[in-house]
A and B are shown apart, each in its own frame.
Chain A
Amino acid sequence: MRPRTKALVAAGSGIAAGLAGLALTALPAGADDDPVLPPIDAEQLVTSTLAAQPPAFSGVAEMQNELGLPAVPGMEALDFESVRVFHDGEEGARVQVEREASELTFVKNTDEAWAYDSQENTAKRLTWDDADAAAARGHAEGEMADPAQAAAEIIERLRPTSDIFVDGTARVADRAAYELVLTPKPSEKTLLREITVAIDEETRVPLRFDMFANGRSEPVLSLGFVEFELGAQDAELFEFTPPEGAEVETTEADDVARAAGEHDAEGAEQRATTVGDGWDTVVIVEAPAAAPAEGSAESGQDLAAVLQQIGEPVTGEFGSGSHVQIAVGGAVITQDGRIAAGAVPLQVLVDALDQE
């Protein structure tokens, strides 16, 4: 009998330990209590966030996407598993977007920025000269010269359409954070319920961004750190040398600015119009008939075609088109090639098109 008991004990404890371990990996970490932090009002929080210098840190962010985006070409950028972020506290930053079998790597340091795609084995390099960099920095500093005023302005701009307040605290990536909440005023005809940003108490780094839609308790879009560690980072992380054989494309910041300027001029004729303001803004654009930039013309056409196929047909004074609905909004693509989109129900889109 004794070996039998021993066997039962061995089997029982082994299985129990193994299953407990497996359950441990399956459980989401950190269902801790919300931390207790000194109270702060929204304006103070925004001010201090704007004033804060990003610290040196490394972190892992993950995205939960319940938007219900239709599977269309050009959306691959949203298809990733996790993002690793490194920051040296000054100019250097490194972001690695990890996909199942490839990676997008962005590296930025004082005088250049790189984007490397391992799937295509292509590297894009952006350089700027010191004068530009200094000017840009000066400009940014100028705008942010008084964070308190900047914060006040931002809040003032949001106030007519939104309620902005600090709603308690949260624990994100095992760090204590304030929850800054932005909700639409009842008069806003939007599908969004609220947007929350969790801001780290110590460093004022935004740790998590959640977007909630009406009638759902879980966020429809959540992008946030699951790991966040302060500390100096290896300087090598912020240098990039493209691997041998990679296609390298170099552009200068000046060229980009010029191209953007030209594009703006061109776009002026077919510029997007907006109807409404605040949360129920509807943006109406002419579907790009001419190529806005090389390469994207084809995908743009494809996109419109695909959207037309998967959408529900709608008709109104504006004519007819098809409506594509996602969790937080929708878009109407009309037969005559206009696209109206916003975080609003279909009726608002149709009204906006009728009004135009």
Chain B
Amino acid sequence: MTTQGPMALPEADAVPSGVLPDRRRAPITRLLRAEVRWIFRRPRTLAVLGLLAALPVITGVAVDLTMDGQGASAPAGPGGGGPGGPGGEPPIFVTMATSAFVLPLGSLMTLLMLLLPLTVAMASGDALAGEQSHGAMRGWLLAPVARGRLLVVKAVGVLVVALAASALVVTSGLVTGLVLAGTDGLVSMSGTELSVADVLWRLAIAVAWATVYLMAVGAVALAISASTEHPMVVVVSVLGGLIVSGVLMQISALDWLHPYLLPTSVTSLVDLIRDPVSFDGLGEGAFRALCYLAIGMSLAYARITTRDG
């Protein structure tokens, strides 16, 4: 069944060579639409997105139930967090852990440790290795679609997943927070009360930043995905890489190495809870992600252009 979806389109567009050059190309928007439709039709995509949407709700409700009044703080992160953050502490902290401001950001940070990268790795694994394992890749590679364009289509598919997943986490946290605490507790760590517009602006930045971060993970995953035909290898390598990075980040003797590790950036999302926001850490994190993106995409491109059907 997987062989049907996106495959049908490029093949339908295949025309004998020698015809007008502009007709040889399938319009990229159509390819993209097909790719995205195909991604969101996979039950596993929907399942993991559902899980991502549910976790902020579970966290919010659990914290709300266990927290008696004020004073209680620093609850553990949502279950999907895995082996803790780079600092080894749960990244939720402020007193109003259930507020419509801290809950979405805290959930996003916790889930960025493992579950969100897993989602993206899964999408990347399906994008190239998955198609290969189903034999569907051959169709793509034989179709008159330039390899570069094929990679672009696949990368945009991963990008859509990254954006959808992080937006979903933040939205779910925001809604849960609004239901639990209304517009109370929209307070920064510096003790300033924030307006709703200000909170939404900061959350939008968080989503954009998380998307860039996840896209860096996705690019590396695509590079692996282009080199194997087992989607499982992609997922395992990405998770393995993240866990190893996490371990390395705990070792202070390796301080010099930490700027090279992608997950080093995640904690800078905390700066969005400070007032005024300091963009230094976020900027550096985004730049680091772009470096990973360049490495991952160029490797994926090299691999995909030299690949035999």
Contacts and interface: CB of A to CB of B under 8 A. Distances in A.
Given A13-B298, A15-B295, A18-B298, 13 more contacts: A17-B291, A18-B295, A22-B292, A25-B284, A25-B291, A60-B278, A102-B93, A105-B190, A114-B191, A116-B190, A119-B74, A121-B70, A121-B73
Given A11-B298, A14-B297, A119-B73, A242 B280 contact: no
Nearest to B267: A100
Contacts of A102: 93-94, 189
B190 A96 contact: yes
A122 B128 CA distance: 53
A8 B95 contact: no
B295 A3 contact: no
A72 interface: no
Interface stretch (B17-25, B45-53, B166-174, B301-309): B301-309
Interface string B79-97: 0000000010101111110
A21 B290 contact: yes
A245 B95 contact: yes
20 contacts: A8-B302, A10-B302, A14-B299, A14-B301, A18-B291, A18-B295, A22-B260, A22-B291, A25-B288, A100-B89, A100-B267, A102-B94, A105-B190, A118-B93, A118-B94, A121-B70, A121-B95, A240-B191, A244-B184, A245-B184
B167 to A, nearest CB: 24
Contacts of B161: none
Interface of A: 3-4, 6-8, 10-11, 13-15, 17-19, 21-23, 25-26, 60, 84, 96, 98, 100-103, 105, 114, 116, 118-119, 121, 123, 227, 234, 237, 240-247
A31 to B, nearest CB: 15
B62 to A, nearest CB: 19
A88 to B, nearest CB: 14
Contacts of B96: 245
A116 B185 contact: no
B196 interface: no
B270 interface: yes
Chain B CB within 10 Å, residue with most, of A3, A13, A15, A22:
A22
A243 B89 contact: no
Contacts of A22: 259-260, 288, 291-292
Contacts of A240: 191-192
Secondary structure of the A contact surface, majority rule? mixed
Given A6-B305, A21-B287, A243 B294 contact: no
Given A25-B284, A243-B192, A244-B193, A101 B89 contact: yes
B191 A105 contact: yes
Contacts of B306: 3-4, 7
A163 B92 CA distance: 50
Contacts of B189: 102-103, 105, 118
Contacts of A13: 298
Contacts of A84: 278
A23 B71 CA distance: 43
A100 B109 CA distance: 13
Chain B CB within 10 Å, residue with most, of A22, A60, A101:
A101
Contacts of B94: 102, 118, 121
Contacts of A19: 291, 295
A244 B287 CA distance: 37
B187 interface: yes
Contacts of A7: 301-303, 305-306
Contact of A103 (B193, B267, B274, B291): B274
Nearest to B194: A243
A61 to B, nearest CB: 13
B77 to A, nearest CB: 11
Chain A CB within 10 Å, residue with most, of B93, B278, B288, B291:
B291
Nearest to B288: A25
A247 B73 CA distance: 14
B276 interface: yes
B286 to A, nearest CB: 11
B291 A243 contact: no
Contacts of A116: 190-191
Interface string B35-70: 000000000000000000000000000000000001
